[in-house]
Structure 1
């Protein structure tokens, strides 16, 4: 009597195939290839696809106001909770802001040093950016700038509401309502991002159709610059901070290698949150510090995201041949210091932050985001891994400064 048994290898192949075809990155890649082919072999039809990319960006722009408002209000109310925790919370916030600002500054510096948005001496101009400028410096007015700037208005309103919420008697109930609204908004954004392949196709087909295959060069340079900058940040900046406390960054990376692989596979640092907390406690960090710093760091300490966002703004400025003054660069860093706190854990939130920053700057066309759609998904892994490493280092440093670190347990654990 023959009993047929399922072929394990066949099941494995089917599961892998299913994982691939349901992966958004896979479809974005297919859309990019299709857009490049259409733009190259049928430039006229490729140019007509401009409206597809623009409509996707228009939908993304609808989320700017509610997401920025909700994340900033909830973030400031979260700061109130941290201060109630005491010295550890304040110290963690200070560390997050300093290191995140360094990450933003490094992103800007590397983008200006390597100029990924330039392909020749004259630069690559994708369109007329003059309509986005605010006039000459002589005509500049802070009041006019504010009232013509929706993003800055939302930011100010969110900051005021967030501060006021900390003094409101029914604070907890209000926060609960806002969190529910935020969850709905982010869920809607998640579903909108399923349209990313369509947006990527339209943006790539138009760009290649109008400007040729040479436009792929700056995209490749941007990806290379982002990966190199994040590696530089991890080994130079975070490595130096750890070295001050006589800890090797390589030992830390070896210790959390399983979590890094998990993040690489899922493109989300949140997937490794439970296991990284357990490992940090085993390493010697106190339970109270781990429980406070890691979850908070997922909203306030996004080093990889900060690098990507700052480099992307400068990259788009170079693509559109827009000169940014030193003051405008500081404005970009200042806005990103606030808005990047809302770029955690949800697909597409980084695009919201970019869109809000470009809108606030009022100088670089927001439509340039369609160009970035082609490579954004392929840099998400680097962002997530850098965010995870940054939060791991932050937890160790806060534990060390609190003298709440079991020194004797460090080396044996790292050698396992």
Structure 2
């Protein structure tokens, strides 16, 4: 029998929406109080990060260990990275095109020598610590448990893939372990559901801090940049990702509606990591195989950063235009190439958007790194859009790769997109608790 409908006020997305609105009002009218509520948002994000490693590990291990064809692991990973590379590069190009057409920084005529570089020194230092070689070697943890202790997503992904393949290779002898992990995953996802009840509190604290500390008024000076970035990201999601979704047989708008609670959480906390466990659960419920979800979603959080890539090229052009630097097409081509590499080098680093921008400007000598001080005040507002675009991009990537593998349950995807509940047998098969 179908479950009785929840009262409207018990839905997570409604609670988070009210929390965001309350946070905005408190931060605006009582900025000191709002700024002091930062620990609420930080505490919630720490709670979620605490559970991310177990969720990723259990999802991947139980998914891969149940595969009969281990060659499909490499095939899925290969298809996912082809997707990531293509659309990440496309996002960089879109940012360049829009930046050249709208020119949000034109006419500001700011002298780079007058800018305070101390404000961005921390990010520049972190940018120098990131490199492709360092990033690749950093995927390998120092010990088997250090990845879980440090909460490094890519290291957990690396261990989980190896362990899942090992369990699959030993066959029947590994079944007791797989059975234990399947049972454990039920408890872990129930824990996720419990933690998500604190989401409105986290969103309230994070939004109150953002408005209280930075103020909506800070947007006025750089309204053209922020507005251009939001509009570009929206067009990328609706037109480009929407076209991909349509080609794969689903609607981008229905997907956004399906993920509305998670998207509001990302908006409120300005962090896509806050909704990572919920995204894994939702994608499995939408008919994507556990093995594909476990590979694509965590890897996408480091490699499929559409919003961050749009921001990088758009922000770089803004700084160049604001400081009166005219970049030639060859210099912009160099910028594109550097951004492609630096975005991978800073993958998985906290504050990756701003750090990646610093890494790019450090290598491209035409644009002064000091120019980052121009956008530091509004970066927090743009980070929300970066996170939202990244989040939607990874949800689309998961469905697309599942479709490419002919492993997508189209009927279940349609049911999920239309807001219909899972059948009982499917709920038992996925071992994921209902929302």
Interval of TM-score (by shorter of Structure 1 and Structure 2): 0.5 to 0.7
How does 1:376-415 map onto structure 2 within 5 Å?
376-415=379-418
Equivalent in the alignment of 2:111:
126
Equivalent-residue separation in structure 2 for 1:393 and 1:86 (angstroms):
20
Structure 2 residue corresponding to 1:320, chosen from 312, 318, 323: 323
Structure 2 residue corresponding to 1:93, chosen from 62, 81, 87: 81
Equivalent-residue separation in structure 2 for 1:91 and 1:281 (angstroms):
19
Q: Residue 266 in 1 paired to residue 254 in 2?
A: no
Unpaired runs of at least 5, structure 2:
1-18, 40-69, 115-124, 153-208, 420-435
Deviation at 1:125, TM superposition (A): 3.3
TM-score w.r.t. structure 2 length? 0.60
Per the alignment, in what secondary structure is the counterpart of residue 173 of structure 1?
coil
Q: Residue 173 in 1 paired to residue 142 in 2?
A: yes
Greater Rg by CA:
1
Distance 1:318 1:248, change over 3 A: same
Equivalent in the alignment of 2:102:
114
Equivalent-residue separation in structure 2 for 1:164 and 1:280 (angstroms):
30
Equivalent in the alignment of 2:36:
22
How does 1:16-415 map onto structure 2 within 5 Å?
20-22=34-36, 85-119=73-107, 124-127=109-112, 158-160=131-133, 173=142, 219-343=222-346, 347-415=350-418
1:303-352 Cα distance to aligned partner (Å, 9 max, x none): 11111111000000001111112121111111111222355565533222
Equivalent-residue separation in structure 2 for 1:379 and 1:373 (angstroms):
10
Deviation at 1:20, TM superposition (A): 2.4
Equivalent-residue separation in structure 1 for 2:138 and 2:35 (angstroms):
45
Equivalent-residue separation in structure 2 for 1:368 and 1:153 (angstroms):
17
Per the alignment, in what secondary structure is the counterpart of residue 86 of structure 2?
helix
Equivalent-residue separation in structure 2 for 1:415 and 1:127 (angstroms):
52
Distance 1:175 1:358, change over 3 A: farther
Equivalent-residue separation in structure 1 for 2:360 and 2:267 (angstroms):
28
1:391-416 Cα distance to aligned partner (Å, 9 max, x none): 00000000000000001112222222
Deviation at 1:246, TM superposition (A): 1.9
Contact 1:128 1:320 in 2 (8 A): no
Equivalent in the alignment of 1:68:
none
- CA-based RMSD: 3.9
Deviation at 1:180, TM superposition (A): 8.0
TM-score w.r.t. structure 1 length? 0.62
Deviation at 1:290, TM superposition (A): 0.3
Per the alignment, in what secondary structure is the counterpart of residue 142 of structure 2?
helix
Equivalent-residue separation in structure 1 for 2:389 and 2:270 (angstroms):
11
Contact 2:112 2:370 in 1 (8 A): no
Equivalent-residue separation in structure 1 for 2:352 and 2:305 (angstroms):
13
